[in-house]
Structure 1
Amino acid sequence: MRELERSSGVLLHLSSLPNKYGIGTLGKDAYDFVDFLAETNQRLWQILPIGPTGYGNSPYQSYSVFAGNLLFISLELLVEDGLLAEENLLEVPEMSDKRVEYDLVMDEKTVLLRRAYEAFRSNFDDWKEEYYTFLGEHSWWLTDYALFRALKSTDDDLCWNEWPEKLRNRDAHELDVAMLEQDARVNFHRFVQFVFFRQWFQLKNYANSKGILIFGDLPLYVSLDSSDVWGNQDIFLLDEKGQMTHVGGVPPDYFSETGQYWGCPVFDWDRLAEREYDWWAARVHFNLRMFDLVRIDHFRGLESFWSIPASEKNAINGEWWPAKGFEMLSLLKSQLGYLPVIAEDLGIITPEVEELRDAFDLPGMKVLQFAYASDETNVNLPHNYGSNFAVYTGTHDNDTTLGWLKTATKEESDNLKKYFNTSWSNIHRALIETAWASVAKIAIVPMQDLLELDGKHRMNTPGTVHNNWEWRMEWKMLKKSHKDFLVELTKKYNRRLKV
């Protein structure tokens, strides 16, 4: 993909799509959402990370940076493929259409995927050519991941660093024995990934045929409890027992007075350099096949990162340590020629971070909810930034715009009234229009903001673990007036889809 022209899009995670089986999937409603984007002349569909999640359900804490989340597999498409019977779907209990009930969805979907796997095995000759092609392309990461998930399911879901020493340290003989013992479970997880990627690329190809680009999200850090860390222990700061010595996070900021303690391992950048950044290169190449462009979350961590001793309870007592992002990005640019990457450069940004971003001509991010807390010099105000940015009313970590307006400080309220010559009730739409009118090459609105939803529909509250990542859209929320508004803005400010 070459450099984006002036364009716009919508942020909506797959989990938030409508679907009667408890969570959004890669099925019909995803295709309908692509059609909605095309009808309203949008160019981009931005989503959150799509990997398999564990406790807390955060897409930023995944068991693998390569695998797909089985929750997003469409049961209806499995029926169309002959891997499930229509009556199987009648056994799924009724679930909320307003929030994702992760545990219930996981239990029910796993049962049905096991049935689909048995049908797949019974009719393997019909699938073997496509399946073996998939394995040939993905075994370099899939073998470790499938074994990792199999071992977790037989060992009380323990983190890999609590496994027996030889497995923890990846003794070659012990791994061979485990592969033989876990053969059935390993092959089930291989099948799940085969189905996920099959459905994913069918959807992506459809979106691309409509002129819609999929805008993915690449978290800087990975979960300790992941096949990635288990398989690459040397590139993370761990002790001899696989325990973290330091963890990632950010110092106190807008979101938290004690900072954010993410509890994930930080990189050993010297070791990454010795390995010529092979893991990072594989990850970025993989993501740029999955998506048309990606956002690197917490981009500033490629210049320097907030390293917190693992023994700390919060993020206050950390230190900034240098990273080697310039060398790593230089390698990737030499391989790719052009980096279709957006830099999430929010928070404490130094001139060095800006220099790293600009050295590779990467668009940064601006968030309008941050623009009115100070005076006219605020860097998030559209009159203070150039075109090489993606502007948002808010991100998945913000309250909805309507929710934010209801809780705005007096200073924010006063500044908003000065900035917009409109009634307070229309400011949420004025903010979206301001994003579209700005010189930023990309403008993105979260679906909740387009639908004019209040803070009850917020996606995530940083620093908390409950009631996050559960919001779901219902088609009845989307009115003709919302579509007309989006079409009008996109035409008025020259962001129309060009196919």
Structure 2
Amino acid sequence: MGFNSSAHPRFSGVLLHPSSLPSGGVCGTFGQPSRDWIKLLSENQIAVWQILPLAPPDSFGSPYSSPSGFAFNPWFLDANDLAKEGFINSDDINEFSETLPSDSSKIDFTLATRRSNEIGKALIKNWKNQDSGKQIEFLDWSSNQHWLDDHVCFMELRRQFSYLPWWEWPSAFSSRNQNELGLWKIKHKDDLLEHALVQWHLNRQWNLLRKIAKKFNVAIFGDLPFYVSRDSADVWGNRSLFSIFSKGDLHSQSGVPPDYFSETGQLWGTPVYRWQKHKRTRFRWWRNRIRRQWLQVDLLRLDHFRALNSYWSVPGGQKTAQHGCWLPSPGLELLTILQQDYGKSLPLVAEDLGVITKQVNSLREHFGFPGMKILQFAFNGDPSNPYLPENFIGHKWIVYTGTHDNSTTVGWWDECDPEIKNRVSEGYDGAYNCPSWKLIDVGMKSNSILFISPIQDILSLGNEARLNKPGTIENNWSWKLEHFDNDFNKSISKYGEVSRSNGRSSDSRNSIIDYF
């Protein structure tokens, strides 16, 4: 396949979650490594930094099942930057450093939580010594965060009740008894302030990264899960919006039906939406949720986009997804209102992988959203396979070697049938024998508006670097880079060169946002 010259601009990007950035601590942060990363992308004319949800993870490290749909992950708070600005003492950092792990290639979730808790305590210890300007800035910010009160209460109650789900808390708190909750908030005002300060500083540090990214013309591409966790501040504080009984039992739950991947389907255990309730409020909760995202990112992927057309609803007591049914969603109405809120074309990307109906495609095309193409899915021998680059219709696609849910391309290649390897080797010319760079070359040459490679493929890493394996709960979400060394910089430089040679360079005169 030769170079696909095109009249429309084409761009490239890298998928790298902040948790996987190198750092002196247990987890990547919003500090210097993130700033270095943005500058490295810009130097190599790479237009897009794709991330995963920035929300707090669940106990298995997943940001897709978060206790909050609005908050940042406290693990990302950079202690060195806080010390430089005088919000904590340098002695506090020395205490944190004593607990660093010996293996810097993996995230220790327990240690990451302990470290963020210690930073929160250090912020409280030093808060009264801060000048009035900083305190006023915090009060102004917090007064404009409608989600913050529920979040700080929920996170502190979780901590006090040993991280039990909210429906197992004492009834006064699980039912949100306002008198009991009010008295409790007075008693624990410093604990609640700690959570709020952590979120304020995360917001400040991320805003700085946004400014740097804009300066260097790097677009930040975020990700929004469709559903929210049953055990979350969102459901605890707004349970009438979700298909859940008052005491926490699921009335209806989410998933997908049986298919060629699973005989029993996938049961996700998150409550589905009570769409009639959302419609009565003109989707206020959804609009607030999306508005919060636009303060964080330039592009946004809507995970499980097909549920905006219709969703698989399974009775709450079922143990598999087999006995569910398809129910309609008001996606057209919701997206129309979101477009009115935004004021112009929505820079959204539809996660439209799997079995997709004509109605779902029509909804995506109605709003002009790009869909997704995964090259690892392309080579099964079917000439009509929609993931084959020669079958792409138009250019409104985001093409990937694989995503965070796939094997790395080297890992995928090691497990491939010989027939698939032959189709890739014989069907596509190119200078690369390494399987990950072979697929990078194929994707770069496609007509898509954007090609993205996970960082693991740029580094030609095997499945030891895989980020997530769906359907499993062990050894996920913990991989991270140990450092930015010369080999790493050379790999990014090479990726930039391949981007430019395929007409995918970025400069100050064009931005991918202009073409959504």
TM-score by structure 2 length?
Answer: 0.92
- Report what 2:324 is aligned to: 318
**How much does 1:421 deviate?**
3.8
Q: 2:456 matched to 1:451?
A: no
Cα deviations by residue, 1:244-265 (Å, 9 ceiling, x for unpaired): 1222122345654543222211
Distance 1:477 1:102 in 2: 29
Match of 1:395 among 382, 403, 409: 403
Shift of 1:175: 3.2
- The one-letter code sitting in structure 2 at the alignment partner of 1:408 is C
Tell me how large the CA RMSD over aligned residues is: 1.9
Q: Percent of aligned pairs with the same residue?
A: 36
Give, as a single letter, the amino acid of the residue that structure 2 aligns with 1:425: N
Stretch moving more, 25-34 or 106-115: 106-115
- 2:105 is matched with 98
| Matched AA of 1:39 | E
In structure 1, distance between residues paired with 2:172 and 2:181: 9
Aligned to 1:483: 492
Change over 3 Å in CA distance of 1:323–1:478 after alignment to 2: farther
Change (3 A) 1:389 1:204: same
2:22 maps to 18
The one-letter amino acid of 1:399's match is S
Aligned equivalents of 2:497, 2:430: Cα separation in 1 = 18
Name the amino acid aligned to 2:309: E
Query: What residue in structure 2 maps to residue 241 of structure 1?
Result: 247
In structure 2, what is the equivalent of residue 168 of structure 1?
174
- Decide whether the 8 Å contact of 1:151 with 1:182 is kept in 2: no
Q: Aligned to 2:70, which of 41, 44, 66?
A: 66
Q: Which amino acid aligns with 2:391?
A: N
Q: Label 1:180 to 1:259 Cα distance change in 2 as closer, same or farther (>3 A).
A: same
In the other structure, the counterpart of 1:211 is 217
SS of aligned partner of 2:314? strand
Change (3 A) 1:460 1:167: same
Contact 2:436-2:458 at 8 Å conserved across structures: no
Q: Compared with structure 1, are the counterparts of its residues 471 and 334 closer, same or farther at alpha carbon in structure 2 (3 Å cutoff)?
A: same
Corresponding residue number in structure 1 for 2:228: 222
Match of 1:476, as an amino acid? Answer: D
Q: CA deviation at 1:214?
A: 0.9
SS in 2 for 1:290: coil
Correspondences of 1:38-437 after superposition (within 5 Å): 38-91=42-95, 92=97, 93-95=99-101, 96-138=103-145, 140-253=146-259, 256-336=262-342, 337-385=344-392, 386-421=394-429, 425-437=433-445
Asked if the contact 2:92/2:122 (under 8 Å) is kept, the reply is no
CA separation in 1, counterparts of 2:259 and 2:36? Answer: 39
Superposition deviation, residue 160 in structure 1? 1.8
1:118-170 deviations in Å (ceiling 9; x for gaps): 112232525212112211321x1101111111222222222222234443333
Question: What's the offset of the Cα at 1:231?
Answer: 1.3
8 Å Cα contact 1:259-1:314 kept in structure 2: yes
Query: Whole-Å Cα distance in 2 between the matches of residues 407 and 477 of structure 1?
Result: 30
> In the alignment, what sits opposite 2:449?
441
Q: Deviations over 1:43-96 (max 9, x none)?
A: 110000011123111000111111111100011111111123323323322322
Distance in 1 (CA, whole Å) between partners of 2:421 and 2:260 is 17
Rate the CA distance shift 1:359–1:225 in 2: closer, same or farther, 3 A: same
Q: Does the Cα contact within 8 Å between 2:87 and 2:130 map onto a contact in 1?
A: no
After TM superposition, the score normalised by the length of structure 1 is: 0.95
Separation in structure 1 between the aligned mates of residue 233 and residue 276 of structure 2, nearest angstrom: 21
2:164 is paired with a residue of what secondary structure? Answer: coil
- In structure 2, the CA distance between the partners of 1:62 and 1:480, relative to structure 1 (3 Å rule), is closer
Provide, for residues 312-355 of structure 1, a one-character-per-residue CA deviation record: whole Å limited to 9, x for no partner.
Answer: 22333332222111110011112222211100000121101101
* Deviation of 1:420 (Å): 2.4
* Cα displacement string for residues 186-221 of structure 1 (whole angstroms, at most 9, x for unaligned residues): 111111111110111011111111101111111001
Distance 1:384 1:54 in 2: 38
CA distance in 2, matches of 1:383, 1:399: 23
- C-alpha distance in 2, partners of 1:277/1:449? 39
C-alpha distance in 2, partners of 1:186/1:53?
A: 20
2: CA distance, partners of 1:391 / 1:477: 28
Choose the corresponding residue for 1:470, options 478, 483, 490: 478
SS in 2 for 1:306: strand
Could you tell which deviates more after superposition, 350-359 or 246-255? 246-255
Contact preservation (8 Å) 1:147, 1:182:
no
Structure 2: gaps (5+ residues):
1-7, 509-516
Contact 1:261 1:315 in 2 (8 A): yes
